């Protein structure tokens, strides 16, 4: 059987660092799993088959079940008539402002990603980055397993000819910066906000947790930077190690390559400023939405419950349903909100986060001439790196490092 054309910048068939061993979409090695898909550039690829689809269906069922159970817990003691009254009292102008702010934070997120990509290629255009970010978010909201995090680097790599390994690394570095910024804002809120009512009971635990989380975030950033600085030495050391250890360390090096921008003081400052602006905008949007839902609350308590909301979004239920609502309810009740008001705020905030992003993502699918099958098949194929016999996974992804 003849081989199917590969992505030229990845493929061993073209003589460039590539996909024959790594099992990236399109190579002969990929053909072992059966199935096919068409990449964003229009080429036809072999990809993963029924096994991946079955796994996704199982994850979808588990995610739906978890979402239903959590939504049942959130609504367990709320009078439906009272909840409808709370929803009807929400300020429409305030909700529109919250929607604008929530979408607007993506501008700062894209500028930060551009700074992380600068050591690889300065001045990556805004439009493909915007499409990659919004399509990644849309995929994460609609499909279980958070595979939108794979869609984002895959699209940008394909459209702009960027090496895949470092491109994935910048997304990981991006998430580490997110976590660090959230922890800093949480610590700020925990120490400057008067913790009253139910929150007062947990005040020592909240403040201790803020310190521990800040230390953990600082350690994660330091480890990423240290790995990058030791890349050459570890490469020689790995030559004499076993396959599994080589796989793990090379994957860590591939990820740390995305943090090269953080070793430049100029780019580090840019990333820090954009992180602060992005998350400041998210906090402002959340505060505006919660106030518009009728909950009297300051910005400080929003900072305190921010990690809970982020964790609620991160749990891979469809659209973050159930987990985000549970986090919002618990956090607002801590600061004196009624159950009905807290649930109303959670429903409105979740809808504002998810619905506009999905609608814009669907529009981008049309303008970028992509399909769901292309996004999901590409992400599945990337997710199985190193799983097949003969695949060295990160060993080959590392070959794409500049």
User: What does each of the 402 residues of the chain score in pLDDT, given as a tens digit?
Assistant: 333 333 333 333 333 333 433 344 434 333 333 444 444 444 444 444 455 566 667 777 777 888 888 888 888 888 999 999 999 999 999 999 999 999 999 999 999 999 999 988 888 999 999 999 999 999 888 876 677 788 888 888 888 888 777 788 888 889 889 999 999 999 999 888 887 777 777 788 888 888 898 888 888 777 777 766 666 565 555 555 556 565 566 666 666 666 778 778 898 899 999 999 999 999 999 999 999 999 999 999 999 999 999 988 887 777 778 889 999 999 999 888 999 999 999 999 999 999 999 999 999 988 888 877 777 766 665 554 444 333 334 344 333 434
Residue 43 is encoded by which pair of tokens?
């080429």
Task: Give the model's pLDDT for residue 249.
Answer: 61
CA dihedral 160, 166, 168, 173 (to 10 degrees): -120
Task: Give the model's pLDDT for residue 119.
Answer: 87
The beta-strand segments (E) located in 267-328 are none
Q: What is the pTM of this model?
A: 0.77
Task: Give the model's pLDDT for residue 229.
Answer: 62
CA 10/CA 104 separation, integer angstroms: 34
Q: Say how many Å lie between the first and final Cα of the chain, rounded.
A: 33
CA 147/CA 19 separation, integer angstroms: 20
Task: Give the model's pLDDT for residue 16.
Answer: 34
Residue in 343, 355, 327 with CA at minimum distance from that of residue 293: 343
Task: Give the model's pLDDT for residue 94.
Answer: 95
CA 177/CA 352 separation, integer angstroms: 24
Task: Give the model's pLDDT for residue 250.
Answer: 62
């Amino acid at each position: 059987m003849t081989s199917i054309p590969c992505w030229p910048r990845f493929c061993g068939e073209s003589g460039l660092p590539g996909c024959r061993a790594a099992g990236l979409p399109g190579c002969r090695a990929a053909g072992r799993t059966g199935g096919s898909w068409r990449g964003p550039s229009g080429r036809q690829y072999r990809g993963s088959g029924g096994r991946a689809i079955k796994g996704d269906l199982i994850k979808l069922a588990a995610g739906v079940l978890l979402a239903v159970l959590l939504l049942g817990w959130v609504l367990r003691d709320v009078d439906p008539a009272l909840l409808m009254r709370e929803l009807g009292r929400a300020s429409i102008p305030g909700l529109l402002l919250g929607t604008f702010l929530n979408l607007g934070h993506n501008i700062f997120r894209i500028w930060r990603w551009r700074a992380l990509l600068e050591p690889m290629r300065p001045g990556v255009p805004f439009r493909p980055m915007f499409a990659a970010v919004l399509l990644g978010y849309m995929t994460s909201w609609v499909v279980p397993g958070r595979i939108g995090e794979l869609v984002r680097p895959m699209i940008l790599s394909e459209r702009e000819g960027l090496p895949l390994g470092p491109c994935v690394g910048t997304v990981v570095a991006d998430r580490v910066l997110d976590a660090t910024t959230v922890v800093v804002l949480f610590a700020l809120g925990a120490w400057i906000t008067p913790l009253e009512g139910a929150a007062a009971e947990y005040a020592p635990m909240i403040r201790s947790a803020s310190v521990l989380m800040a230390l953990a975030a600082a350690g994660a950033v330091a480890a990423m930077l240290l790995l990058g600085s030791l890349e050459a030495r570890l490469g020689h050391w790995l030559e004499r190690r076993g396959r599994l250890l080589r796989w793990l360390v090379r994957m860590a090096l591939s990820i740390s390559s995305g943090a090269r921008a953080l070793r430049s003081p100029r780019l580090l400052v840019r990333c820090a400023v954009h992180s602060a602006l992005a998350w400041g905008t998210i906090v402002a949007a959340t505060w505006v939405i919660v106030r518009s839902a009728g909950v009297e609350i300051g910005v400080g308590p929003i900072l305190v419950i921010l990690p809970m909301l982020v964790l609620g979004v991160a749990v891979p239920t469809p659209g973050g349903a159930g987990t985000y609502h549970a986090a919002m309810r618990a956090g607002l009740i801590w600061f004196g909100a009624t159950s009905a008001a807290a649930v109303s705020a959670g429903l409105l905030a979740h809808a504002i986060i998810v619905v506009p992003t999905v609608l814009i993502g669907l529009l981008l699918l049309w303008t970028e001439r992509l399909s769901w099958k292309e996004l999901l098949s590409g992400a599945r194929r990337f997710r199985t790196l190193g799983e097949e016999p003969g695949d060295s996974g990160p060993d080959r992804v590392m070959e794409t490092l500049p």
